[in-house]
Amino acid sequence: MTNKYTSSHWGTFRVETVNDQISLHGLPQDDEPAQIAKGWVSAMKNPNARIARPAFRKGWLNGRDHDRSGDAVFVQLPWDEALDITAQELKRVIAEYGNKALFAGSYGWASAGRFHHAQSQLRRFLNTIGGVVGAKNTYSHAAAEVLLSYVTGLPHRMFQDQMTSMDLIAEHCELLVCFGGISARTAQVSSSGTTRHEVTPFLNKAAANGCKIINISPRGRDMNAELSADWIALRPGTDTAFILALAYEVFRAGRADRVFLDTYTQGADAFEAYVMGDLDEQPKTADWAAAICDIPAERIRKLATQMTSSRTMISMAWSLQRGDHGEQPIWAGLALAAMLGQIGQAGTGFGFGYGSTTPVGRSRKLINWPSVPQGRNPIADFIPVARVTDMLNTPNGAYKYDGEDRIYPDAKLVWWSGGNPFHHHQDLLKLDTAWRKPETVIVMDHSWTATARRADIVLPTTGPLERDDIMINRRDDALVYMSAVQKPFKQARDDYEILSNIAARMGTSDAFTEGRTADGWLRHLCEGCAAVGKTEGFELPDFETFKDLGIVTIPNAHETRILMDRFIADPATDPLQTPSGKIEIACQAIADLALHDCHAHPMWHEPVERLGACDPDHLHLISGQPATRLHAQLDMGAEAQASKVQGREPCALHSKTAKRFGLTAGDIVLLENARGACLGGLTLDDTLREDCIFMATGAWLDLQDINGRTICVHGNVNVLTIDKGASDLSQGNIAHTTLVKIRKWTGPLPALRVTGLPVLD
Ligand SMILES: Nc1nc2c(c(=O)[nH]1)N[C@H]1C(S)=C(S)[C@@H](COP(=O)(O)OP(=O)(O)OC[C@H]3O[C@@H](n4cnc5c(=O)[nH]c(N)nc54)[C@H](O)[C@@H]3O)O[C@H]1N2
Ligand SMILES: Nc1nc2c(c(=O)[nH]1)N[C@H]1C(S)=C(S)[C@@H](COP(=O)(O)OP(=O)(O)OC[C@H]3O[C@@H](n4cnc5c(=O)[nH]c(N)nc54)[C@H](O)[C@@H]3O)O[C@H]1N2
Ligand SMILES: [Mo]
């Protein structure tokens, strides 16, 4: 019997099939197979979640109305007819408005697998028909992406690639200071697939080596309890104030590494003047920060001493910058690391995203494997990814981004494949209204997500369990042949097939397919991999052998890295690509933009909302990543469903807080603020700050009108979050800056609609 394997963003599995029942088994080399996987097969077999046939919103089909409510009625049509209508509509919009009226930013994680990657396929197809308006940056770390290229000269991908190896931290670091923790929950995931999960073993190794770990986070659980980390439970969104106070203490004690600052940084003097209060008469002392962060000044001072007397790594989770002025904590953290003078050394300095996904800081040689070519997009226009509602609401409206004054496009047709904006975007009631503006919305997905339910044309795709593909991840030490292990659900087709069918109707078949079948493309990719392997000095098996083996391990793939080591070793020969050639603690290019919300150097800016600046009945909502699923994917699978409380998304409070509000575990609660309201099912977590609530993102949106108010009765947190850019520099989302109120839900519990199919006429 040959082994069959498949891969996902949450790991690689050997697949066993007995009597049509599939079971997934973690690989021997995988130390922590992901919990998420437990809900995969059931989600993909769920007949109440999967899209069976092409479907058209009835109101659009019959009268081109824009009434895209989540309760729309759909008409199912045969594929040929569906594809004809889709191609006709595409031609109509292009003829009437030009390709600049097509918005296909189509942000989202889709599935692992190099060939059947939804966005790659969609972009390639759209580029062959004259291009589209796209989207820049990510929901994950837009604020950092934009900032870091100004202040380090490194585009984010290069910054990630250079991240100091976890192995070196485990070996050399004495003090690991973790803002936002380093969490096994988020380390389940790796974009485009992984054959390993090694974050917990890394932390265990560091601790066993005597490394002291400090978790600076509103949630103790962001660090494994066995590590005996010190826990500094600051108010969310106040890290910048906390770091400025650390900087103050280091300057005051005369412990800043002046040689490092002079040699490797630009603008430390301006930063110092600000920190010491020379400009605004407010020294950023520990006492000043204590009031903002709700941490004793003494603890801040002690940490400053610990940091200057140890080999220290400052690690920051991506979450920190998914907040208002999200650039600031990252910039301040980098400045503090520079003051400690340990950047460029083994296992110390500055890190960003350890544990936020599993491969960050992995000791692996990075190999540039081939991918499906995207072609060229003749349309230069784009939006920063999280400005989608603004784009829909204000066509031709002005906005700032990354140093430019820009104008929003006028999107007449929106096309989403492999993403779910009615999961991922903030202030979903606002999006729900704006979403009704375009003339047409096309969604390709395998499941009836809240976004699919708000489309005019819904084209059902397969998922990875239903097609052959290849897991190629330059951060992994293996290639995986992903074998189809079940038949496509009902009439679902591969994205590639669907787009090939439309391309045929658009007259661009040859350009899109290059005459290859899906299997032909997999072979082509494998040949490309073999050629790359040769240049790297190793031989890969031929296609058929690879298919039989399932997994091929890359030889000698172990390689450690140190962020900026070449620059530190020789700043004259290897300067950074900034105007000064150095780390810009103060950045003239940013100062020259004269923005109101991002200045020349890291500063404390009051966020739009925060604890300590509101009435005490408010709680800070932490809407982190779900333990049981990937975003909204697999929410209809067994694992996520088992976590629900009376069918509602769980939300956690400290037991004292629950008591204060007269709540007990298992209660249904209403979370609300000026933007929206949702139900949740109460759980308790005494590792949370008492004024915080943790509710993961990703419960499928189920908006219902109850007594004249629109409520998500299932528990999608994004009806509560704020739709605003982190600043005019990055326009990153600020999902983590949100206050809510909570009370017991005493009304009848509304039945969920989103767990069933939409009305199919
Ligand atoms: N409040 C709050 N909101 C957040 C965040 C937060 O921390 N808090 N985090 C943000 C972050 S970091 C991110 S990255 C986003 C994630 O947001 P998304 O990436 O949009 O979320 P997913 O649920 O992964 O959406 C991927 C979609 O692709 C579909 N799909 C899977 N495979 C295929 C395929 O082969 N073909 C097609 N056509 N479709 C497929 C899935 O069914 C799913 O609907 O959410 C953001 N939203
Ligand atoms: N299981 C699972 N893992 C995932 C994903 C998933 O959907 N499911 N999604 C993946 C994706 S796309 C991404 S981008 C990453 C995101 O990775 P992260 O951004 O690291 O994950 P989050 O869960 O948003 O936040 C991590 C922790 O940060 C803390 N935190 C929140 N706000 C603040 C703050 O202001 N200050 C401090 N100090 N701490 C704060 C919270 O307690 C939270 O638990 O996760 C990836 N991993
Ligand atoms: Mo993300």
Which pLDDT belongs to residue 604?
98
> What domains, with CATH codes, occur in the chain?
5-134+379-474+478-553 (3.40.50.740), 152-364+562-591 (3.40.228.10), 619-755 (2.40.40.20)
Name the region of 51 (left: φ>0; alpha: ψ -120 to 50; beta: rest): beta
CA 130 to chain centre: 29
Distance between Cα 138 and ligand 3 center (Å): 7
Question: d(Cα 71, Cα 73) in Å, to the nearest integer?
Answer: 7
Pairing of strands 73-76, 759-760: parallel
Residue ranges, the chain, pLDDT below 70? 1-2
Which pLDDT belongs to residue 705?
98
**Active-site option among 5, 10, 40, 109:** 109
Question: d(Cα 664, Cα 685) in Å, to the nearest integer?
Answer: 12
Which pLDDT belongs to residue 1?
53
Residues 162, 165, 166, 172, Cα dihedral to 10°: -130
Question: For 138-233, where are the alpha helices, taking DSSP H only?
Answer: 142-151, 156-162, 166-172, 199-208
What is this structure's pTM? 0.98
Pocket residue to mutate for ligand 2, from 197, 217, 685, 687, most atoms within 8 A of Cβ: 217
Helix (H) or strand (E) holding 352: strand 349-352
**C-beta atoms surrounding 759 within 10 Å:** 12
Pocket residue to mutate for ligand 2, from 356, 420, 610, most atoms within 8 A of Cβ: 356
What are the beta bridge partners of residue 354?
A: 357
109 as an active site residue: the answer is yes
Cβ atoms of 701 and 754 closer than 8 Å: yes
**Active-site option among 40, 60, 107, 415:** 107
Which pLDDT belongs to residue 681?
99
Cα–Cα distances in angstroms (integers) from residue 186 to residues 182, 297, 624, in the given order: 8, 31, 9
234 Cα nearest atom in ligand 2: 38
Find out whether the beta carbon of 308 lies less than 6 Å from any atom of ligand 1.
no
Which amino acids bring their CB within 6 angstroms of ligand 2? 36, 140, 179-181, 183, 185-186, 188-189, 216-219, 222, 236-237, 239, 317-320, 323, 356-357, 622, 624-627, 630-631, 736
Question: d(Cα 500, Cα 47) in Å, to the nearest integer?
Answer: 26
Structure tokens at 493: 């087709």
Measured between alpha carbons, how far apart are the two ends of the chain, in Å?
Answer: 45
Residue 274, Cβ density class (10 Å: 0-12 exposed, 13-18 middle, ≥19 buried)? buried
Least distant ligand from the CA of 626:
2
Structure tokens at 315: 């690690």
Cβ atoms of 438 and 464 closer than 8 Å: no
Find out whether the beta carbon of 145 lies less than 6 Å from any atom of ligand 1.
no
Distance between Cα 85 and ligand 2 center (Å): 41
Helix (H) or strand (E) holding 478: strand 478-482
Sheet (strand 759-760) strand order: 102-103, 413-417, 440-445, 457-460, 55-57, 73-76, 759-760
Helical packing angle, 327-340 and 239-252, nearest 10°: 20
DSSP 38-87: GGHHHHHH-TTTB--S-EEEHHHHHH------TT-EEEE--HHHHHHHHH
Residue nearest to atom 33 of ligand 1 (CA): 110
107 as an active site residue: the answer is yes
Least distant ligand from the CA of 50:
1
Find out whether the beta carbon of 495 lies less than 6 Å from any atom of ligand 1.
yes
Distance between Cα 425 and ligand 1 center (Å): 10
Which pLDDT belongs to residue 20?
84
Residue nearest to atom 46 of ligand 1 (CA): 424
**C-beta atoms surrounding 541 within 10 Å:** 16
Question: d(Cα 455, Cα 447) in Å, to the nearest integer?
Answer: 13
Cβ atoms of 369 and 196 closer than 8 Å: no
Question: For 493-572, where are the alpha helices, taking DSSP H only?
Answer: 495-506, 509-513, 518-536, 543-549, 565-569
What are the beta bridge partners of residue 552?
A: 479
